[in-house]
Chains A and B, each alone.
Chain A
């Protein structure tokens, strides 16, 4: 069980954090570190791509919420890319669909940052 975190800058100056694997109490610190590093560097408009995430729990959600709170303090936002119905369901039942912008593809998530 592991999580892979890949950070890349897109041509429109947004930063994309692409995650693949499982985000749980064991792996979420790695995700938190990547997001924190980007914010510390002054990047406040982020797309977090969850398309290759097979599993997320409350600790993973906590990391995403923490990131969103921090970028909002600087007028930024976090948009998510999520196509997995099981993961979408977790955002639904926790009410986080109302807090995050959730998109079907990366292009739409980046466009909505502008």
Chain B
């Protein structure tokens, strides 16, 4: 008989790399939604994560060079999910009234914290969603 593993506080890491092309965004949002469903999120919260990740990927695609990739890293815990979306050096985060600016507003509204940083090999958008007490 297999003994149940004792539940301990742990972080599970899931990484995904997709081509920076429009047709792959659906794969990213489905995969990250599946990761989010491992935590204690409500259905609405999972939908929020799904949209925020899609917006982050779409933002990368807008500036992506041919052949570029998007790296997505999820750190899943029972009470939270951290996701980083890493794009190429040409990517910018727009905060204007454009379509891309709307995407940023959506991400900031749906996630609990959002961080944008520029690294030597590209830009990174980090987002955290926490389980709300019910």
Contact = CB atoms under 8 A, between A and B. Distances in A.
Interface stretch (A9-17, A54-62, A75-83): A54-62
B40 interface: no
Main secondary structure of the interface of B (DSSP, over half): helix
Contacts of A24: 22, 25-26, 54, 58
A106 to B, nearest CB: 25
Interface in B7-37: 22-23, 25-26
Contact of B26 (A1, A59, A62, A86): A1
A22 interface: yes
Interface string B93-134: 000001110110110011000000000000000000000000
B58 A90 contact: no
Nearest to A61: B102
A83 to B, nearest CB: 15
Nearest to B44: A86
Contacts of B47: 86
Interface residues of A, number: 16
Contacts of B25: 24-26
A28 to B, nearest CB: 9
Nearest to A90: B106
A94 B102 CA distance: 7
A57 B50 CA distance: 10
B105 A93 contact: yes
A90 B17 CA distance: 27
Contacts of A22: 26
A97 B105 CA distance: 15
Interface of B: 22-23, 25-26, 44, 47, 50-51, 54-55, 58, 61, 98-100, 102-103, 105-106, 109-110
